[in-house]
Structure 1
Amino acid sequence: MNRVTLFDGATAWLVTGHSHSRRLLADPRVSADRSRPDFPVVLPRFEADVFKPLAIIGFDPPQHGLQRGLLTADFSMRSVRAKRESIERLVESLADRMLAAGPPADLVLDYSLPIPSMVVADLLGVPYADHQFFEDATVRLLQATTPQGAEAAGEELLNYLDEQIRLRERDPDDTLLSRLGEHVHDEGLGRDIINKIALALLVGGHDTTSQMIALGVVTLLDHPDQLAILRSDPSALPGVVEELLRMVSVTDLAGVRVATEDVEIDGQVIARGEGLIFCNSMANRDPAVYDAPYEFDVRRSADDPPATRRHLTFGHGPHQCIGRNLARMELEIAYRVLFEKIPNLRLAVPRDELPMRHGSTMQGVHRLPVTW
């Protein structure tokens, strides 16, 4: 752990060790409540009201458990498994459409973004016809350089979701938005929180997975020997996904907390009111946990099964990503179908010319030109 200075001059602890990260993320003396005045602000956009409070991940018990409990059934393994066939059909249709159109293609626009966008639209019950709106608004929200820009994009999304929920209140259906709408008058929740829960699911449910698909493809193309393992041995797929999750860490620096009382860890005291920022990419490369941590090795899970899911890409503790099982399924299907249908896929531009995202806590690419 090291002290770092943030853009506004405040200081916080940067936590890079795997053990320290796990222990602190699970410590009840460490708060995720972004409405606290001493909560660290990593980037200017996080000063926007839309991020304070941030539903699900920005609350502490008991409110956090109340909000998360509304989603447990929809994100259970049973519910996720029930979606596999429909997601496989969707992904195959996207790959077939890309093949029919012929090369070159933008893998983000034609494949990695539509997959989670369609899945989250179906899950929530929002019309996929509105995907251009919520995809663009999400990018503006997550890439905003000012609080005002983030607030404007966030308000657009919240107003849209509020309208969708109100429609279900008048005419209920079997969608998650409809089920959320049943709780807009519950004590401890209310319409504002319900809308922000829907926002967290919409934004978190498609952009992160889209970028994970895209950057995962880039990583596999960067390591043809590892891609050859996937092509020759489909049973290696779950391990491939876990190693990609470990190495890519799309949501790096997204875990932010504040100590509500003094916390001592291995002789270091984190004082009450001090902020903590968790660096997943470093924790996922901790040599105390992983042999040759900077090597991309899709066989790592076979050699050390307990290490398979020790990465912190989905976080740890009570705020661990509730959609992790759905995300894993989407990734497995996306990689399998893509390389089965287009085995000679390759980048259409030099690697160093890929238009990468910058200035964000989320890694990614704006476009991914590919050919075959």
Structure 2
Amino acid sequence: MTDQHGMPDMPMHMRRCGVDPVPELHACRARAELSTVDTEFGQPAFLVTRYEDVRAVLGDSTRFSNAADFSRRRGAEPASPEQLARARAGNILVQDPPEHTRLRRLLAREFTQARMRDLRPRIEIIVDARLDALAAAGRPADLVTEFAMPIPLLVICELFAVPEADRAEFQARSGRLFDVSLETGSRLAAARENREYMASLAAAALAAPGEDILGRLVRDHPDELTRDELTGIATLVLVAGHETTASMLALGTQALLWHPDQLALVRDDPAAVRPAVEELLRWLSVVHSATLRLTTAEIRLQNTTVPKGSLVLCSLPAANRDPAYTPDPDRLDIRRGRATHVAFGHGLHHCLGAPLARTQLETALPRLFRRFPGLAPVAAEPEYSPYAVVYGARKLPVTW
């Protein structure tokens, strides 16, 4: 469906008013029964919006399965069983235990706090280089293209030892992958191209394992991961880790510019940085929803009977702005101290890369404000990117 301008008619759970969820989403949370939303798979989904209900769904992998068959996407050719198996290999977002448990165990050591401490110096170098590039771009400069987008991309390139010559196309392909204003065929083509590239990285790691994530996985677990699984792991880290962190860097900067007293704390008080990042994650909730779940039994939820075999979609922004979760939820307050948000999901599928995202945000934001103490937006609002799986800013012109 399209609107009067020929653009896709966005489902309710993806609509925003600036950085806020639309009032209709808040109204859904207040209703006694669940609403439904259309999905691109041709089947409606029950929309879960209350914080307590979202945690209940995401925390119950037995009754709410991640292993639904999503090969019936609108406008796409049906996938064969072999194609579907290859697409799912290594992707823990679409796996249930015990396969999910096996893969997560192998990956967990790559995203520990100890690994992040080892990686932080390299992230600091990347951030400082981008701050130099921002200064060199001159005023005004676009914070998205000069700072927010390159940092997580370069960190992921470091994680997988992506050659310098491939990095520009790597970023362009990622942008096409996430842009839901594109036709399904274009997005699927970008996904195929991306997977082919990740398959080449997996093949290189199998042939000569280096010091990147894929190389360590091959050395540490030589008989436990196939090439398709290594490809799926690399694809997942890109999909889950690039656009999300970039969006948080851009919109997190804008949010703090709107609240200069809180920005000053992030800039000047190291102890304020971590709680500030948690509050920004809650308040912005750039990921619209958790992965679709499929009910394995009839469920009673919020005065609604959800039949077995139904799709369930959890709205993360609505849950994180639930007044039953935290008082005055529409106000940004970095002193709030609520790290129990669901911006990274919850339960078995809580984002494995959350420590990596937090490390980048905790490193980049205070460095940005110290390097440019007079940083200011050129416009009252950034140019948002509404037609994206991850909500963010397409442009954020700044001066200093």
**TM-score of the superposed pair, with normalisation by structure 1:** 0.89
Give the match for residue 305 of structure 1: none
Deviation per CA, 1:204-233: give whole Å up to 9, x if none: 222210111001011111222322333343
Q: Is 2:275 aligned against 1:220? A: no
Give the match for residue 86 of structure 1: 122
SS of the residue aligned with 1:140?
Answer: helix
Q: Which of 106, 111, 126 in structure 1 is aligned with 2:147?
A: 111
Equivalenced residue count is 360
From the superposition, tell whether residues 36 and 130 of structure 1 become closer, same or farther in structure 2 (CA, over 3 Å): closer
Aligned 1:120-269 pairs, distance under 5 A: 120-144=156-180, 145-181=182-218, 190-265=226-301, 267-269=303-305
In the TM superposition, residue 110 of structure 1 has moved relative to its aligned partner by 1.2
Paired residues of 1:184 and 1:191 also in contact (CA < 8 A): no
In the TM superposition, residue 265 of structure 1 has moved relative to its aligned partner by 3.8
SS of the residue aligned with 1:13?
Answer: strand
In the TM superposition, residue 294 of structure 1 has moved relative to its aligned partner by 0.7
CA separation in 2, counterparts of 1:346 and 1:181?
46
Letter in 2 for 1:30: F
Paired residues of 2:202 and 2:227 also in contact (CA < 8 A): no
Aligned 1:1-372 pairs, distance under 5 A: 2-6=34-38, 10-27=43-60, 28-35=62-69, 53=88, 55-144=91-180, 145-181=182-218, 190-265=226-301, 267-301=303-337, 308-348=338-378, 350-352=379-381, 354-372=382-400
Letter in 2 for 1:253: S
Letter in 2 for 1:351: A
Paired residues of 1:347 and 1:370 also in contact (CA < 8 A): yes
CA separation in 2, counterparts of 1:205 and 1:297?
25
Letter in 2 for 1:344: G
Letter in 1 for 2:385: R
Deviation per CA, 1:297-340: give whole Å up to 9, x if none: 11111xxxxxx211100000111100101110100111110000
From the superposition, tell whether residues 194 and 170 of structure 1 become closer, same or farther in structure 2 (CA, over 3 Å): closer
SS of the residue aligned with 2:275?
Answer: helix
Aligned-residue Cα RMSD (Å) equals: 2.6
In the TM superposition, residue 36 of structure 1 has moved relative to its aligned partner by 6.0
Paired residues of 1:45 and 1:150 also in contact (CA < 8 A): no
In the TM superposition, residue 180 of structure 1 has moved relative to its aligned partner by 4.2
SS of the residue aligned with 2:158?
Answer: helix
Letter in 1 for 2:185: Q
CA separation in 2, counterparts of 1:172 and 1:11?
44
Deviation per CA, 1:41-84: give whole Å up to 9, x if none: 7x878988789537111111111122222211111111111111
In the TM superposition, residue 7 of structure 1 has moved relative to its aligned partner by 5.1
Q: Structure 2 regions of 5+ residues with no counterpart? A: 1-32
In the TM superposition, residue 34 of structure 1 has moved relative to its aligned partner by 3.5
Paired residues of 1:142 and 1:150 also in contact (CA < 8 A): yes
Letter in 2 for 1:148: G
**TM-score of the superposed pair, with normalisation by structure 2:** 0.83
In the TM superposition, residue 238 of structure 1 has moved relative to its aligned partner by 0.9
CA separation in 2, counterparts of 1:183 and 1:73?
11
CA separation in 1, counterparts of 2:39 and 2:59?
27
From the superposition, tell whether residues 221 and 47 of structure 1 become closer, same or farther in structure 2 (CA, over 3 Å): farther
SS of the residue aligned with 2:312?
Answer: strand
From the superposition, tell whether residues 5 and 117 of structure 1 become closer, same or farther in structure 2 (CA, over 3 Å): closer
Moved more, 192-201 or 143-152: 143-152
From the superposition, tell whether residues 22 and 69 of structure 1 become closer, same or farther in structure 2 (CA, over 3 Å): same
Letter in 1 for 2:110: D
Paired residues of 1:184 and 1:194 also in contact (CA < 8 A): no
